[in-house]
Amino acid sequence: MKKIAILGSTGSIGTQTLEIVRDNPDLQVVGLTAGTNIDLLEKQVREFRPRLVSLQNEAACRELKIRLADMEVQIVPGMEGLLAVAEMEDSEILVTAIVGMIGIQPTIAAIKKRKDIALANKETLVTAGHIIMPLAAKMGVSILPVDSEHSAIFQSLQGENKESVSKLLITASGGPFRGRTRQELSQVQLEDALKHPNWSMGHKITIDSATLVNKGLEVMEAKWLFGVDLNQIQVVVHPQSIIHSMVEYVDGGIIAQLGTPDMKLPIQYALFYPDRRPMAGKKVDFYALGNITFEKPDMETFVGLKLAMRAAVDGGSMPTVFNAANEKAVSLFLDRKVQFLQIPEIIEMCMDAHHRIENPNVEDILRTEQETYELINTKFMEKIYY
Ligand code: NAD
Ligand code: MG
Nearest of 173, 151, 159 to residue 253 by alpha carbon: 159
pLDDT at position 386: 52
| Contact 54 CB / ligand 1 (< 6 Å) | no
- Say how far apart CA 279 and CA 175 lie, in whole Å: 27
Confidence at residue 383, expressed as pLDDT on a 0 to 100 scale: 64
**SS3 assignment for 177-226:** CCCCCHHHHCCCCHHHHCCCCCCCCCHHHHHHHHHCHHHHHHHHHHHHHH
Angstrom CA distances, 287 to 34, 284, 292, 293, stand at: 42, 9, 12, 15
Cα-to-centroid distance, 327 and ligand 1 (Å)? 12
pLDDT at 85: 98
> For residue 288, how far is its CA from the centre of ligand 1 (angstroms)?
33
CA gap 58, 43 in Å, rounded = 19
Which residues are found with C-beta within 5 Å of the ion, ligand 2? 147-149
- The b-or-e profile of 172-200 (16+ CB within 10 A means b, else e) is bbbbbbbebeeeebeebeeeebeebebbe
Residue 382: per-residue pLDDT = 67
DSSP labels, 240-295: T--EEEEEEETTS-EEEEE--S-THHHHHHHHHTT------S----HHHH-----B
Give nearest CA residue, ligand 1 atom 18: 35
369 lines ligand 1 (CB under 6 A): no
Cα of 285 vs centre of ligand 1, distance in Å, is: 30
Q: What is the largest CA-CA distance in the chain?
A: 63
Q: pTM for the full model?
A: 0.97
- pLDDT score for 385: 56
Q: Return all residues near 136 (Cβ < 8 A) that are at least 6 apart.
A: 111, 117, 142, 143
Residue 149: CB within 6 Å of ligand 1?
A: no
What does the alpha-carbon distance between residue 25 and residue 272 come to, in Å, rounded to a whole number?
13
Q: What is the whole-number distance in angstroms between the Cα of residue 82 and the centre of ligand 1?
A: 14
- The residue whose CB lies within 8 Å of the most ligand 1 atoms, and thus the one to mutate among 6, 32, 99, 373, is 99
For the Cβ of 373 lying below 6 angstroms from any atom of ligand 1, the answer is: no
Predicted pLDDT of residue 187? 93
Distance from residue 278's CA to the centre of ligand 1 (Å): 26
- Quote the DSSP letter at residue 157: T
- Taking 70 as the pLDDT cut, the residues of the chain under it are 382-386
For ligand 1, say whether the CB of 35 is within 6 Å of any of its atoms.
yes
Q: Quick check: CB of 244 below 6 Å from ligand 1?
A: no
